Each structure stands twice: as C-alpha cells, then as structure tokens.
Amino acid sequence: MAQLRIDGLTKRFGAVTALDAVDLDIPDGAFVAMLGPSGCGKTTLLRCLAGLERPTSGTIRLGEADITTLPPERRGLGMMFQSYALFPHMRIRENLRFPLKMRGRGDAAAQDAKIDEALRAIRMEGMGDRYPREISGGQQQRVALARAIIADPPLLLLDEPLSNLDAQLRKQMQIELIELHRRIGLTTILVTHDQEEALSLADLVVLMNAGRIEQIGAPRDIYRKPATAFAAAFLGGANLLDVVVENGLARAGDGTALGPLAAPDGPRRLVLRQEALALRDAPRPGEATLAARIVAVAFNGATSRVVVEAAGQRLELTVPAAAIEGRAAGATAQLCFILADAPLV
C-alpha cells in the first residue's frame, strides 16, 4: 500500500477539458469518494489512475514510482467497473483466477486455494463453476469486487460500483464495502454521482465540478461547511439566500434585518440547509426570521417538504410532518433559523 499523489493532472479531449490541473494527495489506507455531477471529470480521473486514459499533462505517483505513462497492466491495481465487466465466456472460478494468472501469482494449486477463500468470503462457495449470466446481479457485483482485490492490489478503484443494484441491495453492499475497507485497510477510490453514497462510505470526499476539485474534506465538514455555492447546492440541496452585509448587520433582499453577522460589507449568500429551517408563528429567542408565504406542501410520511416564498426567493425546507399540520398552501408564517449556524459562500 502506498500514498497516491496527483499533480497538475490535465486531460483534454479535443477542445473539451475533462480534467483541469487537478492536484490531490490521497493518504495510505483512505477511502476516498470522488463526487460530482456527470461530466465533472471524476470518471476521467479514475481512468487516468487506471492507465486507461493518457493524461495530457501532469503526473501520478504511487508511492515512489511515477506511473503517469505506465500501461494499465503494469500498474498492478484493482478496478471494478459499473457494468462489472465479468468475462461472459469464463466460469466464476476462471474470472477470479484471471488476475492471479496474469500477474503470475503462485501455481494452480495456490491459485485454487485463493479462489476458494474468495468464494467463501463472498458467500458463494459451490457456485464457482457457474457462468456470470447464471448468477444474480448482486452476486455478479460481489464476484467483480472479489476479482478486483484477489491479487492484493495497492489501490482499489471503484467506478459507480453500486449503481446497477436496487435500493435495498445497494444499502447492504454499502455496509459490506465499509466492512471490507475496515478489514483489509486497502486504499480505495470510489467514483459516484450519489452524494448519499459518498457521504456514508468515504472518510474523505473529493467534490468535483467542471474538471476541477471544488472542495476536499471529511463528509461532515463538507456538508456543514460548504466552501462554494456549488458545494452547498450539490450536497444536500441547500437553499442559498441572498443577503447584504452592512456594518456587520445582515439584511435579506427585501430589507428585513436578520441580525449581526461577522463578515465584510457587500452582497453574500447564506447557506440554509433544509433541516435548519423551521416554520413558526413567531421566532424563538436568538432566531432570525423572515415573513414567508407557503407555496406548496408535499407529505412524505415522517417528514413533509415545504416550498415557501420569502424575501422574493423560493426556499425549500424539510420539517417533521406534525410541525406543518394546520398550515396549507397560501398561508403565511415566520421562517426561522439560527443565523450563526448558516455558512456564507
């Protein structure tokens, strides 16, 4: 295992810049999630790491070695594809044997032992003689993961590994991935567009947008303290309220005084998480408040999603279903939040 170091990595496809001078250090044993909308460059970055794309410029270092231009077969990495990429003409055993055979790991007997161990670990003993099309999607997914790590790679790359599974199986596999990572401590890089998956699996989230890294941080930090408007909106779908700071006092767009804010003068945007907003008849002590009109209410069971209009902007909030009872579209209420808890971007 080794530290991964990416310096100024750039990849252009004709006139399109998929990766724009990306710098990233990944510590040994980390579980990193590359998160971002489609086309943000996260998959291109992963493919550059695997050697499937040649970067236009920049370097990739794994431990001491510069692997930027090394062909994929000489990097010794493990990778799992979104489509699993199991060989349809090989039985499960032979699929698992492939990386061992190609890397010349042990004789046939040693490989057999390793394959049996892997099949046991994914609870598929006795299914080694089946073909990939004869097992379920969840089993294919586990075989693909086992095949990616069977030759003990220093780095595991996962390209949207769970997106082909149904919601229930996905939750279960997320837990298994976390356990696997904790058990063998393998440096893992996961590419996903699913923010919930990134937040729950990784201990380091790399948020990407338009070929650049938007923010790097622990899941909690990146959620609580988004550095940019993009980070705030992409993670958790936060509201961005336009405010103007004047002599340390924040005012909403309609002129309502919200309270003191330690920030330089000028227009700012306030990040208001859906769960940080509440609708009441009157604010509690210490809360900032805005007059709001309810536009729509959507009942979700335990919670309700409410769209309101306040200070000339539409804002969304999620509240306990009981808290909104008696209020309907068209009614007015006070939109309350704690100003000091809301980050500025």
Partner 1 sequence: MKRETALLLAPGVLVLTLGFVLPVLRVLTLAFDAKTGFGLDNFARFFADSFYPLVAWRTVRLSLVITLVTALFGAPLALVMARAPRWLRMALIVVVVLPLMTSVVVRTFGWLVILGRGGLLAQTLAYFDLAGRNFSLMHTETGVVLAMVQVLMPFVTLTVLSTLEKIDPRLEEAARVMGANFWTTLRHVVVPLAMPGLVAGSLLVFALSASSFVTPGLIGGVRLPVLGATIYQQVTGTLDWGFAAAQATLLLILALVVALPYAQGARRAGASR
Q: Could you list the residues that contact partner 1 (CB under 8 A)?
A: 50-52, 71-73, 75-79, 81, 83, 85, 87-89, 98-99, 102-103, 131, 133, 147, 151, 157
Residue closer to partner 1, measured from CB, 102 or 175: 102
**Helix 137-149 crosses helix 167-184 at what angle (to 10 degrees)?**
20
Burial annotation 284-313 (CB, 10 A radius, 16+ → b, else e): eeebbbbebebeebeeeeebbbbebebbeb
Residue closer to partner 1, measured from CB, 101 or 225: 101
Q: How many residues does the chain have?
A: 345
Place of tokens 């919930």: 196
Q: Identify the helix (H) or strand (E) that includes residue 317.
A: strand 313-320
Residue closer to partner 1, measured from CB, 188 or 304: 188
Q: How far is the CB of 96 from partner 1 (least distance, A)?
A: 10
Q: How far is the CB of 169 from partner 1 (least distance, A)?
A: 21
DSSP string, 107-161: -HHHHHHHHHHHHHHTT-TT-TTS-GGGS-HHHHHHHHHHHHHTT--SEEEEEST
Q: How far is the CB of 158 from partner 1 (least distance, A)?
A: 12
Residue closer to partner 1, measured from CB, 130 or 251: 130
Q: How far is the CB of 109 from partner 1 (least distance, A)?
A: 20
Report the alpha-carbon distance of residue 33 to residue 188 in Å, rounded.
8
Residue closer to partner 1, measured from CB, 85 or 121: 85
Q: How far is the CB of 85 from partner 1 (least distance, A)?
A: 4
Under 8 Å CB-to-CB from 197, ≥6 apart: which residues? 33, 162, 170, 174, 190
Q: How far is the CB of 148 from partner 1 (least distance, A)?
A: 8
Q: How far is the CB of 147 from partner 1 (least distance, A)?
A: 7
Q: For residue 186, give both structure tokens.
A: 């393998």
Residue closer to partner 1, measured from CB, 12 or 81: 81
Contacts by 11-14 with C-beta closer than 8 Å and gap 24+? 11/41, 11/44, 11/48, 11/53, 11/55, 11/56, 12/56
Residue closer to partner 1, measured from CB, 77 or 310: 77
Under 8 Å CB-to-CB from 336, ≥6 apart: which residues? 277, 278, 279, 280, 283, 284, 287, 288, 289
